[in-house]
Amino acid sequence: MEDHGGGWSIKDPNEDTEWNDVLRKFGILPPKEEPKDEIEEMVLRLQKEEEVKPYERMSLEELKEAEDDFDEADRKAIEMYRQQRLLEWKCLQRRQKYGELREISGEQYVKEVTNAPEDVWVIIHLYRSSIPMCLLVNEHLSQLARKFSEAKFVKASVNSCIHSYHDRCLPTILVYKTGEIKARFIGVAECGGMYLKVEELEWKLAEVGAIESDLEENPKKGIINMMTLSMQNISVRENINTKSSDVLKPHIT
């Protein structure tokens, strides 16, 4: 026991001391907690496991084989469970399949892009390695491919896809879904400018629905607002200068 100024308190009511035994005898302390037996704990664990439906421990193949052994209610639950497992499996397969910016050739374009699975967004970058902006976009897309592995990110040298494609149209980013172009960013300006940041490119792709970003607002919003304000100031100054010039003009009668 310890004295805390206002009275005595028990340091450890489960401690094996003569004093604690006396207090338990007079009902001041509750009976000492006995440690659970290992066998008892194992039985409790097994009982808890029995509460789990047997089909929740089965693979998709085992579920199909044992389908006749369940009643109607279980069959409905099994179907929902099977769909959930299939979805999880597809997501896993997709993560294993994508997750990087892959190089493809013009010959692979239709197979890899146009004929991609209907539920997959495809982002393809047509580039030329001699153009610095293309290299920057490739770097950003590599990061986004790792972050958004459910989408398919590919790049292709424009020389292998389109003959005589003009440099002013590069970089070119095309966004596909169900074999159709859903969005396109052609040239430096549309792709975000020479000082493009990865967050800005992420926002562009999220706006067209290709990825689900956690960005809450356009990272370039502040810059756009400053440019708008600057243009407004220029417009105001031009109006003032015009009016001043009109005042100074001689009136000819």
Tokens 């590069």, located at residue? 170
| Residue 249 confidence (pLDDT) | 46
Q: In sequence order, what are the beta bridge partners of 157? A: 127
Question: What pLDDT, on the 0 to 100 scale, is given for residue 60?
Answer: 60
pLDDT of residue 253: 45
Say what the pLDDT of residue 44 is: 67
What are the φ/ψ torsions at residue 212 (nearest 5 degrees)?
-105, 100
Q: What is the pLDDT of residue 37?
A: 62
Per-residue pLDDT of the chain (253 residues; tens, 9 = 90+): 554 555 455 556 566 677 777 777 777 777 766 655 666 676 666 655 554 455 555 666 666 666 666 666 666 776 777 788 777 777 666 655 688 999 999 999 999 999 999 999 999 999 999 999 999 999 999 999 999 999 999 999 999 999 899 999 999 999 999 999 999 999 999 999 999 999 999 999 999 999 999 998 998 765 544 544 455 555 545 554 555 455 444 544 4
Q: How far apart are CA 11 and CA 144, in angstroms?
A: 57
Q: Report d(CA 103, CA 242) in Å as an integer.
A: 56
Report the C-alpha gap between 99 and 151 in whole angstroms: 8
Instruction: Give the N- to C-terminal CA distance of the chain in Å, as an integer.
Output: 113
d(CA 148, CA 141): 10
CATH classification of 102-208 is 3.40.30.10, yes or no? Answer: yes
> Cα 29 to chain center, whole Å?
55
What's the pTM value of the predicted model, to 2 decimals?
A: 0.55
| Sequence ranges of the domains in the chain | 102-208
pLDDT attached to residue 185: 98
Tokens 């790792």, residue?
Answer: 146
- DSSP bridge partners of 2: 9
Question: Around Cβ 201, how many Cβ atoms within 10 Å?
Answer: 22
172-177/2-3 β-pairing: unpaired
Whole-number Å distance between alpha carbons of 105 and 124: 11
Rg (CA), the chain: 35
Residue 31 pLDDT: 73
Give the integer Cα–Cα distance in Å for 206 and 188: 19
Give the per-residue SS3 of 222-251: HHHHHHHHHHHHHHHHHHHHHHHHHHHCCC
